[in-house]
Amino acid sequence: MPLTRSSTAEGVSDRLAHTVLRDLAWLLATPDLVELPGPNAYPGRPTRLELGLVEAVDDWLATLSPLVNALDGKLATRMGHYHERLWHLMLDNAPNTRLLAKNLRITQRRNTLGELDMLYRTRDNPNPVHLEVAIKFYLGLPEGPGDATCQSRWIGPGGLDSLALKCSHLRYHQLPISSTATAQAIIAHWLSPRDIGPTPRPHQPLTQRLAMPGVLFYPWHTAMPPPIGATADHRRGKWCHLRNWPQLAAQRSEALKMVWLEKPHWLAPPPLDTFYSARERMADVMPLIHRYGPQQVMLYDPKEKVLAGGKPLERLIIVPDDWPRQVPLPPRPRG
């Protein structure tokens, strides 16, 4: 059956109209891209059960409307900062969690050692949780550093970042820093009880978590395996060069529709009534690709048969014909 106005795509109901609320719904429904295995393994994102958001999520999101409206025009425009703001809203207003601190700088003798994205606590456990968050959109290279599953083959649209570099930085710098004595002393000043549960006891173990949602975009023209560490249910899309768009579009029906995603709102699919003729919309997107580089769009083919559990919406990043202009070097091996 075709996608309808009241349908849900990627966990976001079209009953939600506000873009920020839709992005929050997407965050709640979207799994992490990767797991960090090995001796420095860290638990993934807070679950809906831990947040106290197992049922009636749309109703809870509706209660955030006044807060979101008050932030109108004040939310960050950079995607990373915007993503952090969404987590602040979620952790400080979910039934089972409260935000204790955000962007907590760790300094020693006037030297900045790093920064903790956020500290939060749950209703049934007063001990703080250190949460690092990152939202990432990586494109897979059929040819590149390492073998077919190497994380270094998955690079950001700008070519400055890779999945391998990000995982290495998280594993060996961002997450371990909260375990240092310097960080523990600074964290102790932020352990106020807030309005849920008992007061945390000093010197209690600090739990560390990583939330890394996003999308892995596979090359449209060839098969490519997921990178090492990718979660089984990570969100997927495709990418193609601008010169290949006509060929890709020809594989869909003449009724194909498109919507352009403007940063920082690369998260939730827009409502279905914002999709228009792909042929007409592409005329607007093409100059953006020439001028600014890779652009993300979503496609909807109303003639495509959608099976149970199918995905009628398709994410696509269209890149300039000379992309990538650079590929990051792999991270240095760690002993």
For the residues 283-302, what does the mean pLDDT come to? 97
Per DSSP, 34 falls in state: B
| Least reliable range by pLDDT among 2-6, 28-32, 92-96, 232-236 | 2-6
By CB neighbour count within 10 A (0-12 exposed, 13-18 middle, 19+ buried), where does 70 fall? exposed
pTM assigned to the model: 0.92
Q: Specify the higher pLDDT residue, 33 or 42.
A: 33
Is residue 94 left, alpha or beta, with left meaning phi > 0 and alpha meaning psi from -120 to 50? beta
pLDDT in tens, 42-61: 788 999 999 999 999 999 99
Please name the amino acid found at residue 58.
Answer: D
In 3D, which of 277, 273, 213, 279 has the Cα closest to residue 246?
Answer: 279
Per DSSP, 96 falls in state: T
pLDDT in tens, 220-243: 999 999 999 999 999 999 999 999
Q: Is the CB of residue 114 less than 8 Å from the CB of residue 106?
A: yes
pLDDT in tens, 240-260: 999 999 999 999 999 999 999
By CB neighbour count within 10 A (0-12 exposed, 13-18 middle, 19+ buried), where does 94 fall? buried
pLDDT given at position 198: 62
The angle that helices 19-29 and 79-93 make with each other, rounded to 10 degrees, is 80
* Distance, C-alpha 61 to centroid of its chain: 18
pLDDT given at position 240: 98
